[in-house]
Amino acid sequence: MTGGASGIGRAIVLRFARAGARVAVVDVAEPAAREAASAVDSHKGTALPLICDVTRSGDVDQVIATVGERLGPVDILVNSAGIAHVGTIEQTSEGDLDRLYAVNVKGVFNCMKAAIPLMKGRGGVILNLASVVASVGVPDRFAYTMTKGAVLAMTYSVARDYVTHGIRCNAIAPARVHTPFVDGFLAKNYPGREREVFDQLSRTQPIGRMGRPDEVAELALFLCSDAAAFITGSNYAIDGGFVTLKM
């Protein structure tokens, strides 16, 4: 579970652990990864915090090997690690583009490339966190949109290439979800107007609010479970009607 220390990733870690999974909390932020693992342990689950920069293939390979040694075979890979950038193409520097590509695209590539050989012959599930921006235009999200479109395309490609190997690969496409990132973004960019802007962003979902990380985690658990054994190569919107009800 990459990006498992906070936000949606942390919620998925906790939900999978409650369902009986042995979870590797893979994140670049060591204190937060350890805290998430401790939260699992306090509920009598099994979690292993592992510090990893997903942009580095060597780090990823080492983490995958450690998971195999400490937790057993890799049955499920959830790629949740990701970063954001606000701006149009004119407001996006080459450095911004490279930074988002390294984490959001190359990071997903590195993790799938390391895990797939271990899944071939015995089966497995890969779940990638995409976004509604892969399907519709959202203002001021050029670089983020580029990366999440790539995540969705990689999902389809891997699903097709490895379906005969018993590997399922799907994506989840959330709209706005209330995470610590949202609170930090509002505090930085709209000091004193946090509540006002939060309400504005909430209303962009036809359902009238942002999603909750635990709601995304429930969908993730289903897609990675045997109950979804007939589902691969699919992209599941969890967006309060953002895509279909606003078009």
- Distance CA(71)–CA(178), nearest Å, equals 31
> Is residue 190 among the annotated active site residues?
no
CB 6 within 8 A of CB 179: yes
Q: Are 9 and 81 in contact (CB under 8 A)?
A: yes
3-class secondary structure, 184:
helix
Give how far Cα 213 sits from Cα of 1, 9, 91, 182, 228, Å. 15, 8, 29, 12, 20
Residues 6+ apart with CB under 8 A from 169: 112, 125, 126, 127, 128, 155, 158, 159, 162, 232, 233
Q: Say how many Å lie between the first and final Cα of the chain, rounded.
A: 33
The single residue of 101, 144, 156, 190 carrying the catalytic annotation is: 144
Residues designated catalytic: 144
